[in-house]
Structure 1
Amino acid sequence: MHTDLVAALDIGGTKIAGALVDGDGSLLVRAQRPTPAREDAESVMGAVAAVLEELKVSPLWHGARAVGIGSAGPVDASAGTVSPVNVPGWRDFPLVERVVAETGGLPVALVGDGVAMTAAEHWLGAARGYDNALCLVVSTGVGGGLVLGGKLHRGPTGNAGHIGHISVDLDGDLCPCGARGCVERLASGPNIARRALENGWLPGPDGDATAAAVAASARLGDRAAVASFERAAQALAAGIAATATLTEIDIAVIGGGVAGAGEVLFAPLRRSLRDYATLSFVRGLTVAPAVMGTDAGLVGAAAAASSVRHEGANARAVAAP
């Protein structure tokens, strides 16, 4: 029998996924609901509760010792609240308190989705075996997380490693966050597509104007498409090199939809890193694609939960196993 499990929740703007996870990171029971992102706070919480109810009817539920939550951000782990940008009904929503109540008082760990992905990659993925790592999620936005000294470094509110809002272009475009020239403004999927379109790239007959379509054109040599990915890679390289110089990370792991572009992104990224990571102690930095895929959020949330099993109800501290 499985008597030492954790429950994991992965909360995003599109779906709320849940799982019961064992000590090896295997997802034994799964549940999922669409996120009612345009509805009020209680409707969104209702979807979370429905996922938890589906897990609770499993005979394995009695083995769950803690709950881990990876949520779209911003999150505030110190307060136990979430304010996902793409779920406007949730602003400073007391998610930890509500999940504690739904699960009968199990200890709960809350982290942002970038930190959850980092926990997953460090536990079972591309950053396994590295004591110092930066993991990035490059998709609609750019998020990330840090492993320092062999442990997940989440910061007081659970947002440490949020590389997307490091400024790499001092006089660059205004970012929705309020700063200028952020990595996200240059390297996210929508911004890669926007820049390609502005510079003359034309979508194919199907009208697909996503970063994936830009990547397909770049593989065929389209100049505007190639240039947009090179600019994104340059921004990522500058942000990664800055992080490495501050923290002496050994590896940068890159996941998210944009990483699916493969060498269209990674080749110029490695070239640009040589221009930015120039000091002796960062020159050997490895760059690798993430390997955990769509389960990274659940596995990372489980990694967070594993750390609080012995800390009592409402505990929020996090460390990768």
Structure 2
Amino acid sequence: MGAPDAQALVFDIGGTMTRAGLYDLAAGRLLRTERAATPSISAGASEPGPGLRTRLYDLMERLAARLGADAPDRIVVGFPGPVDEGGVALRAPTVWGTQADPEPVAARVKAIWPGVRIRVVNDLSAAGYGFLRHDRDDACIVTVSSGIGHKVFLDGRPAVGPAGRGGEIGHLRVDFSDEAPLCECGARGHLAGLACGRAVPDQALRLACRDPGAFARSSLAAPVAGRAARVDSHLVARTFRAGDPWSAALVGALAAPLGRALAGIHAAVGVERFVIMGGFAQALGPAYLAQVGQAAAASTWDLGQDWGRMLELGEMGDDAGLIGAGRLAAREWGGPA
């Protein structure tokens, strides 16, 4: 184990789970990790906003204690929402729902650990550092799980703008119909509301209404007693990978808006490497990636792009956010990137 002064305390906060780890800056690896359920709207919490926010910091302090990091001097926090350069989170819909008040995450963490050197960045920005092939790599990191997010890395840094508002394609409106599904942020028709794991029941119901007979013949119908709105992300991942045709059509409906969005990113900035991570994408596997690529190819002109090569699954698993946060810490405070 490295010396204490060569370690960073790293956090990956999600709407469902908060992970913490000790990262050895010199060795470039996680030493140990802890995790616990995030006190969040996503987990069914109903208490007022300020209390819910305080519970998150209490959880971070407990996880650090379980790691034996009671007095850290270097901390990187990956936070699930846009974050400005001062470590203020502008929104956090997966944690606090539609509450719109900015949250001074860096200041709250420093109140727990005075004198700490700290970086607070968007959680996908943190994870992205773990997927860069070198310090000046260009890549687009995309997460498809209970929500959708992305970060474009140019010359090894996430391009999020001076106020941290960039890289939030999950909240791009792509469906302008009156019946467009609600996003977790409270708006209608956002990409996340049509293409992530939480979008499965709504998209399943839409597809089943167009052709009830096809749904009735699918292997999904029996487990949900013929009620398409009961289809969830775990069930569709299982039947999709087993080759069920109706499940393939449903996954195609989920993949299409994401593919169109990625085509827009490619056309706008020219990035040609897209790393798709997140639990839902991982559960669906390479065949899902192929559907995203087909939708992307159909959404922009042909200049010889090979979308099959441009898209890849991120393979670091649950620790991706912690590993990326650790590599960011190594960049900031020494050690191998």
- Whether TM exceeds 0.5 here: the answer is yes
Q: Is the 8 A contact 1:12 1:72 kept in 2?
A: yes
SS in 2 for 1:164: helix
How many angstroms does 1:180 deviate by? 5.6
Q: 1:288 to 1:21 in 2, by over 3 A?
A: same
Structure-1 separation of matches of 2:322 and 2:157: 18
Corresponding position of 2:240: 218
Encode CA deviations 1:156-203: one digit per residue, 9 max, x unaligned.
343422221234445582543566643222211121332123333445
Corresponding position of 2:19: 17
SS in 2 for 1:235: helix
Q: 1:51 to 1:77 in 2, by over 3 A?
A: farther
Corresponding position of 1:309: 333
Encode CA deviations 1:70-122: one digit per residue, 9 max, x unaligned.
01224444352464223339843322112123233122111122222222222
SS in 1 for 2:261: helix
Q: 1:233 to 1:240 in 2, by over 3 A?
A: same
Structure-1 separation of matches of 2:109 and 2:202: 39
How many angstroms does 1:145 deviate by? 1.1
Tell me the amino acid that sits aligned with residue 262 of structure 2: I
Tell me the amino acid that sits aligned with residue 26 of structure 1: R
Structure-2 separation of matches of 1:145 and 1:291: 17
Tell me the amino acid that sits aligned with residue 278 of structure 1: W
Q: What TM-score does the superposition give when structure 1 sets the normalisation length?
A: 0.81
> Which segments of structure 1 move beyond 6 Å, counting only runs of 4 or more?
none
Q: 1:221 to 1:130 in 2, by over 3 A?
A: farther
Q: Decide which moves more: 299-308 or 141-150.
A: 299-308
Q: 1:57 to 1:233 in 2, by over 3 A?
A: closer
Structure-2 separation of matches of 1:290 and 1:98: 31
SS in 1 for 2:92: coil
Q: Decide which moves more: 240-249 or 230-239.
A: 230-239
Corresponding position of 1:160: 166
Q: 1:34 to 1:169 in 2, by over 3 A?
A: closer
Percent of pairs identical after alignment? Answer: 27
How many angstroms does 1:130 deviate by? 7.5
Corresponding position of 2:109: 99
Q: 1:76 to 1:133 in 2, by over 3 A?
A: same
Structure-1 separation of matches of 2:326 and 2:276: 20
Tell me the amino acid that sits aligned with residue 243 of structure 1: I
Corresponding position of 2:320: 296
How many angstroms does 1:204 deviate by? 4.3
User: Does structure 1 residue 116 correspond to structure 2 residue 116?
Assistant: no
Q: Decide which moves more: 146-155 or 277-286.
A: 277-286
Q: Superposed, which structure 2 residues align to 1:197-276 within 5 Å?
A: 197-200=205-208, 201=215, 202-205=220-223, 209-259=231-281, 260-276=283-299
Q: Is the 8 A contact 2:263 2:297 kept in 1?
A: no
Q: Decide which moves more: 176-185 or 222-231.
A: 176-185
Structure-2 separation of matches of 1:250 and 1:27: 29
Structure-2 separation of matches of 1:146 and 1:74: 14
Residue number among 57, 64, 82 corresponding to 1:45 in the alignment: 57
SS in 2 for 1:10: strand
Encode CA deviations 1:266-309: one digit per residue, 9 max, x unaligned.
22222222212424275566100011110011112223333443
Structure-2 separation of matches of 1:251 and 1:111: 22
User: Does structure 1 residue 187 correspond to structure 2 residue 199?
Assistant: no
How many angstroms does 1:244 deviate by? 0.8
Q: Is the 8 A contact 2:9 2:75 kept in 1?
A: yes
Gaps of 5+ in 2: 209-214
Structure-1 separation of matches of 2:304 and 2:237: 33
Tell me the amino acid that sits aligned with residue 183 of structure 1: L
Q: Which has the higher contact order (CA 8 A, sep 6+)?
A: 1
Q: Decide which moves more: 244-253 or 199-208.
A: 199-208
Corresponding position of 2:9: 7
Structure-2 separation of matches of 1:263 and 1:33: 30
Corresponding position of 1:131: 137
Tell me the amino acid that sits aligned with residue 190 of structure 1: R
Encode CA deviations 1:213-239: one digit per residue, 9 max, x unaligned.
113223444443222211222211111
Gaps of 5+ in 1: 311-319
Q: Greater helix percent: which structure?
A: 2
Structure-2 separation of matches of 1:203 and 1:50: 44
How many angstroms does 1:65 deviate by? 5.0
Provide the alpha-carbon RMSD of the alignment: 3.1
Q: How many residues align?
A: 304
Tell me the amino acid that sits aligned with residue 121 of structure 2: V
